[in-house]
Amino acid sequence: MTTAATVFVLNGPNLNLLGTREPQVYGSATLADVQALCAEACAQHGLTLDFRQSNHEGELVDWIHEAGRAHAAGTLAGVVLNAGAYTHTSVALHDAIKGTGITLVELHISNVHAREAFRHHSYIAPVAKAVIAGFGVRGYALALAGLAALAQP
């Protein structure tokens, strides 16, 4: 039997700069550190990790479509998406998520609601199963634990 055991962790623009980018906001962990943290969380929960980052909106849309095909094939537990600034601008990502029916957790390292007003609106939240913000990079492990719990029959 095929199990829904794969998770995509998708990171949007500027998240490749983690570690040096505004460390007072995002902390000192690098994206490689985040990937290692996600790999450890996935190992704990029996999930297979597919971890990616792109600065390009269309590439993120393509990856959501790819996740949608895995969902249709029954191999996807869900997606963790830190869409970065595209969270606040991207109707295309909203439509892609809506069109695939995937289980998606919106993730932010910082508490976007305690920051500038332009970060308070999300195009992702209305099509997300859950939202995590403000736990620093530990939020990725929390999101993966949440997806693992949701994937239990």
**Binding region for ligand DQA (CB under 6 A):** 14, 82, 84-85, 87, 108-110, 112, 119
DSSP 85-149: GGGGT-HHHHHHHHHHT--EEEEESS-GGGS-GGGS--SSGGG-SEEEESSTTHHHHHHHHHHHH
Closest to ligand DQA by CB, 71 or 108: 108
Task: Give the CA angle between residues 76, 38, 133 to the nearest 5°.
Answer: 90
**List 26, 86, 123, 140, catalytic entry:** 26
**List 86, 108, 123, 140, catalytic entry:** 108
Q: How far apart are CA 40 and CA 72, in angstroms?
A: 26
Nearest position to ligand DQA, beta carbon: 84
Closest to ligand DQA by CB, 4 or 26: 26
Phi, psi of 20 (to 5 degrees): -115, -15
- Rounded to the nearest whole angstrom, what is the least distance from the CB of residue 87 to ligand DQA in the complex? 6
Mark whether 71 is an active-site residue: no
- Rounded to the nearest whole angstrom, what is the least distance from the CB of residue 151 to ligand DQA in the complex? 24
- Rounded to the nearest whole angstrom, what is the least distance from the CB of residue 11 to ligand DQA in the complex? 9
CB-based contacts of 91, cutoff 8 Å, min separation 6: 123
Mark whether 26 is an active-site residue: yes
Task: Tell me the catalytic residues.
Answer: 26, 108
